[in-house]
Amino acid sequence: MIISTAARRLACLAFGFTVVVGAARFVNDVAITPAHAAGAFAIGKCAAYGQAYDYPAEQLAKAAALKQCKGECTAVTMKKACAAFAVDLTNPCGAHGYAVRPKISSSLNEATRECYKYGGKECVIRAWVCDAKG
């Protein structure tokens, strides 16, 4: 069986095109899949905080947020959400509050309410963060 040079070239071109398109679809699926978006917010004493968002896994986001936070900190994770951290402006080492909610407005309001609930006199938002879909 004799195959012409033109037919071989066409077959190679078709195979190469298939490989390139398949690779591009794979990269896009991995790189921008919203299901992989995860974030974390670390909170510490005296208004210390750290934040991480759009990480592929919650554990990675939590580790990154804790690394940014100075001192003894705890972290909360979020997925398709927003987190906010409020402190008492008159005493940053005193009362504080935080919240994780689906929308930024509700997380800001709830964090401020929590700060007042724990004795804050002039609570203000210290930091906030949203992941890719929050």
Q: Which tens digit of pLDDT belongs to each residue from 47-89?
A: 999 999 889 999 999 999 999 999 999 999 988 899 999 999 9
The mean of the pLDDT values for the chain is: 80
The pLDDT score that the predictor gives to residue 132 is: 72
Provide the pairing of β-strand 96-101 with 82-88. antiparallel
Q: Which residue has the higher pLDDT, 56 or 33?
A: 56
Q: How many CA atoms lie within 13 A of 60 on its CB side?
A: 8
Q: Could you give the percent of the chain with pLDDT greater than 90? A: 63
**Looking at residue 9, what is its pLDDT?**
52
Burial (CB count within 10 angstroms: exposed 0-12, middle 13-18, buried 19+), residue 4: exposed
Write down the domain spans for the chain.
1-32, 34-130
Is the pLDDT score of 1 beyond 60? no
**Cα pseudo-dihedral 129, 40, 125, 121, rounded to 10:** 170
Cβ density class 85-108: b for 16+ within 10 Å, e for less: bbbbeeeeebbbbbbbbeebeebb
Whether the predicted pLDDT of 110 surpasses 60: yes
Query: Which has more confidence, 132 or 50?
Result: 50
Residue 70 or residue 32, greater confidence: 70
What average pLDDT does the segment 26-50 reach? 71
Mean pLDDT along residues 110-134: 91
